[in-house]
Amino acid sequence: MPTEIRMPRLVDSMTEGAVVAWRTREGESVTAGEVIAEIEVDKTTADLQAPDSGTLTKIVVPAGSEKVEVGAVLAVLEQNGPALAVVREPASASLGPTNGGYVEVEEPAKTAPHLVGGSVEPMAALRQVAVQASPLARSMALQAGLDLSSVCGSGPRGRVVRADVLAALGLHQATRESRSTDPVHTSGRPLSEASPSYDLVPHTQVRQVIAQRLSESKRVIPHFYLEVNSRVDALLQLRSEIQATCTDGTRLSLNDFAIRAAALALRKDPEANASWTDTATLRYRRIDLAIAVATSLGVVAPVVRDADRKGLAELAAEVRDLAARARDGRLTPAELRGGTFTVSNLGMYGIDSLYAIVNPPQAGILGLGAAQPRPIVVDGAIVAATMMTCTLSADHRVLDGAAGARFLLTFKRLIEQPLTMML
């Protein structure tokens, strides 16, 4: 019995993914739970497992395909057992009662429908009805004698559209190829001979997700920014003393202290640990910190669960592990979702301050700059101190300026008096 293997929704915000590689070839046998492909979802790569044991009879979406919509058919698996085909497609009002929003049509398994006089066989016609397609695409397929169930749809939710029918008939391939060779600006106009030369760098799935989310964030979320300068001499001294006494190889960075301080500040001022919805503000009971990590494909933000309940050594070890696996592309989708607040540190690059973009649906992100010697005034005298600029980017729908200031000042006190983080 054939089973359609579809692009799964592994992250709540996921609308499309990419097929990185197939580990199983057409005609090979697989067992239930065996990894048959690698798919790129949002900002990580995940393994796609076979839902049942059987034979992979057809790969619909080849390796390297991008922007594959959630729910699109990736491959067909012939299960071991009776030869019955089950067509599962979104129900249409004309098909009568449905089961869970899908129509099930059982029929004896067969090869591709035989074409007679420009039309398809009766059972193939039944499959035509079950396939989700636009009226124009359905009419064109009927006139051409094309079985719509064999066409991979590129429309919303895998819907077959006019371009898919033309592609299946081989009528617009040359036009598409000729267009793809023409250099164009983002506006679509051809480049003139006087235009500067350039290297074409195709967008990865990760970069497309980053662009989509951050563009939406700046377009929808009313950002405001608060900045404070924190003196970190006492913190650096405490870190040196801890490192000198640790014999188990524990390594602590300034970033580890900052993450601990952010988690404790969110516990004391929970207004920043929230999200906006149209009906209510969601104030989270847990503090799950997303930590921004730069990778070769773009910035990802793995999540440290219950960050306020973990000590410095545990936090440091977990952050190092997540960062290493993020750079190797070995994070799971679960480790990238559910963050309630984000911390982003560019101090290691010598950046003085960072005005980050809020990572929706969170209400805030804390940007950390470099800890550098600066002149400050203490008791009327100018002295040298190690200062770090800390910037809060916040969603004004959730936070007012006073609430954001309370969080940022709590963070400042913890950073400047690090022993209080040990309590």
For residue 313, the SS3 value is helix
Token pair of 380, please?
Answer: 């009327």
Say if residue 122 is preceded by a cis peptide, omega within 30 of 0.
no
CA distance readout (Å), 144 to 118, 140, 189: 6, 6, 35
CA distance readout (Å), 128 to 61, 155, 166: 20, 16, 16
Q: Which residue has the tokens 């010697």?
A: 373
| Among the listed residues 273, 258, 347, the one whose alpha carbon sits nearest the alpha carbon of residue 306 | 273
Token pair of 297, please?
Answer: 């494909």
Instruction: Tell me the longest C-alpha to C-alpha distance in the chain.
Output: 97
172 belongs to the catalytic site: no
| Catalytic residue from among 114, 172, 185, 396 | 396
Q: Are 294 and 275 in contact (CB under 8 A)?
A: no
Question: Which residues face 282 on adjacent strands?
Answer: 275
| Among the listed residues 113, 112, 147, the one whose alpha carbon sits nearest the alpha carbon of residue 130 | 147
Q: At what angle do helices 162-169 and 135-144 cross, to 10 degrees?
A: 20
CA distance readout (Å), 353 to 196, 299, 372: 33, 18, 11
Q: At what angle do helices 401-416 and 254-268 cross, to 10 degrees?
A: 130
For residue 152, the SS3 value is coil
Token pair of 175, please?
Answer: 């036009």
For the chain, first and last CA: distance in Å?
Answer: 61
Token pair of 26, please?
Answer: 């057409």
Dihedral angle computed from the Cα positions of residues 329, 331, 333 and 338, in that order, rounded to the nearest 10 degrees: -130
Residues composing the chain: 423
Residues recognised as catalytic: 396
